[in-house]
Amino acid sequence: MTVLVAEDDQEMLELIENVLTEEGYQVLTANNGTDALAALERRDYDVVVTDLKMPGASGLEVLRRARASYLRQPVVVMTAFGSIETAVQAMKEGAYSYITKPFDLEELLAVMAEIAEQVRAHRQLRDKGESGEAPAFPIVFRSKVFRRVLAIVHEVAESNASVLLGGETGTGKELIARELHLRSSRAKGPFIPVDVNTIPDALFESELFGHKRGAFTGAVQDKPGLLEQADHGTLFLDEIGEMGPAAQAKLLRFLQERRCRRVGDTKEHCVDVRLVSATHRDLSAMIGTGQFREDLFYRLAVIPINLPALRERPEDITPLAYHFLRMFNKGFSVEGFRQDALELLASFPWPGNVRQLENAVEHAVIMRKTGLIKRDDFPAWITTSGNAQHTDLRTLEEVERGYILELLDRCQGNRSKTAKILGINRRTLLRKLAVYNIPPRQ
């Protein structure tokens, strides 16, 4: 990946060049803004890293030139001034991220690794002849803890071993499953995501293995199962903990034999599928209570990966917030976040994790429409009842209960809509309503 680094401090410039080169990046340098603009005229770069204050031309001019290119190169800006006004201006102009000097080089490497993932995915889509636009779901992070998770994902991606993704609701399990797929030799094959909770036990065999015409009432034509659809690709089974006993037995048999037979057929055939599953539940505890098969667990969890909650990687809250701002700002002219807004986001415990943060930013963009998002633009479940100042005095369960109540109110009691916003299925929502003692008509 080619990187242009523009920095007028020669010692800093050489340090960044050496560190990025050691990481495998192809680095070209410019020690002032004028030279950086000339470098952008001569050739294309995958990413630009620029100081904001330089002789000749400013970092903002370099940013504008890079973003005006047909490639719309991602730009990382470095600033010694650290004020929110400077950061807001850079983000308004289209900067991918900003780093305040003095900074830890690991912070820069984390941002570069994030951009490298998006460049790689963009090239894969282009090589497959698909849309040349950037991936719809980029992996946004700055924290070391999430960088370690991605390192594991990339290390095991080429393996055919089954992967079990754990973590709370909203931590990005499907995103990581897609990353495993795109990083593997199966990237040109299909990625088939399935919410296990939406398949009744009685239909699981037909859905997984397919059926022949006339196999049962309603089987009016041959239908390939999910395993056949995912042949030479990846089958992602989300909420595997919701699978019933009969379905567990059928899935175990496939994992043992790697062969499948459509319902009503007499012939078996092999399929080449990598299985990635995910759950927010404690499967070990479910094994203890007899709700989940231990032998199936070990087949699914050859490689277990646990995704951290958003509160365990607070460094990622601001870059994620700006990412969602860019996503939802089409048709609006929101410039960024005021300091009180960023402090509010940093203080909230996010029981719904990244998905809840996405919901909050979307709400704020719609309410603000233009200018800077302020604290009061966020939904009431963040800003009322002392949540922002006193979240440490409230349990995560209390915060989540308030969040669900707020969404139910916004959706006028429609549980299906509420579940969709939460990113969970209706059955899981009903279980949460019972746990939190929320009345049926609430």
pLDDT single digits (tens) 134-144: 444 568 887 88
Site of tokens 């049926």: 440
The SS3 of residue 366 is helix
Whether the predicted pLDDT of 103 surpasses 50: yes
Q: Is 155 left (phi over 0), alpha (psi -120 to 50) or beta?
A: alpha
For 158, phi then psi, to 5°, come to -75, -15
Q: Please count the other Cβ atoms lying within 10 Å of the Cβ belonging to residue 81.
A: 11
Q: Please count the other Cβ atoms lying within 10 Å of the Cβ belonging to residue 384.
A: 11
The C-alpha torsion from 231 through 236 and 239 to 241, rounded to 10°, is: 60
Which residues are CB-contacts of 129 (< 8 A; sequence separation ≥ 6)?
A: none
Domains of the chain: 2-124 (3.40.50.2300), 144-306 (3.40.50.300), 311-435 (1.10.8.60)
Cα atoms found within 13 Å of the Cα of residue 267, Cβ hemisphere only = 3
pLDDT tens digits, one per residue of 157-214? 999 999 999 999 999 999 999 999 988 999 889 999 999 988 888 788 888 888 777 6
Average pLDDT over the chain, rounded to an integer:
85
The SS3 of residue 91 is helix
pLDDT at residue 245, as a whole number: 92
pLDDT tens digits, one per residue of 31-68? 999 999 999 888 888 899 999 889 989 888 999 888 87
Tokens of 323: 């990412």
81 vs 190, residue with greater confidence: 190
The C-alpha torsion from 331 through 333 and 336 to 340, rounded to 10°, is: -100
Strand residues in 73-196 grouped as ranges (E): 75-79, 97-100, 163-166, 191-195
pLDDT at residue 142, as a whole number: 77
Contact 107, 99 (CB under 8 A): yes
pLDDT at residue 313, as a whole number: 95
Q: Residue 82's pLDDT band (boundaries 50, 70, 90)?
A: low
81 vs 34, residue with greater confidence: 34
Q: Residue 113's pLDDT band (boundaries 50, 70, 90)?
A: confident
pLDDT tens digits, one per residue of 387-412? 444 444 456 677 778 888 888 888 88
Which residues are CB-contacts of 69 (< 8 A; sequence separation ≥ 6)?
A: 40, 44
Nearest to 77 by CA among 319, 355, 413, 284: 319
Where do the H-state alpha helices sit in 69-135?
84-92, 105-127
pLDDT at residue 136, as a whole number: 44
pLDDT at residue 438, as a whole number: 85
Whether the predicted pLDDT of 123 surpasses 90: no
- What pTM was computed for the model? 0.69
In the chain, the percentage of residues whose pLDDT exceeds 70 is 88
Q: Residue 27's pLDDT band (boundaries 50, 70, 90)?
A: very high
Cα atoms found within 13 Å of the Cα of residue 161, Cβ hemisphere only = 15
Site of tokens 């939406």: 198
pLDDT at residue 18, as a whole number: 93
Contact 341, 378 (CB under 8 A): yes
Q: Residue 70's pLDDT band (boundaries 50, 70, 90)?
A: low
Measure the CA–CA gap between 163 and 255, rounded to whole angstroms. 13
Q: Which residues pair with 164 in a beta bridge?
A: 277, 304
Whether the predicted pLDDT of 274 surpasses 70: yes
DSSP state of 308: P
Contact 354, 170 (CB under 8 A): yes
Contact 328, 361 (CB under 8 A): yes
Q: Is 249 left (phi over 0), alpha (psi -120 to 50) or beta?
A: alpha
Whether the predicted pLDDT of 127 surpasses 70: no
DSSP state of 347: H
Q: Please state whether beta strands 233-238 and 191-195 pair in parallel, antiparallel, or not at all (unpaired).
A: parallel
Among 13-22, 136-145, 265-274, name the most confident range: 13-22
In the chain, the percentage of residues whose pLDDT exceeds 90 is 43
Q: Residue 149's pLDDT band (boundaries 50, 70, 90)?
A: very high
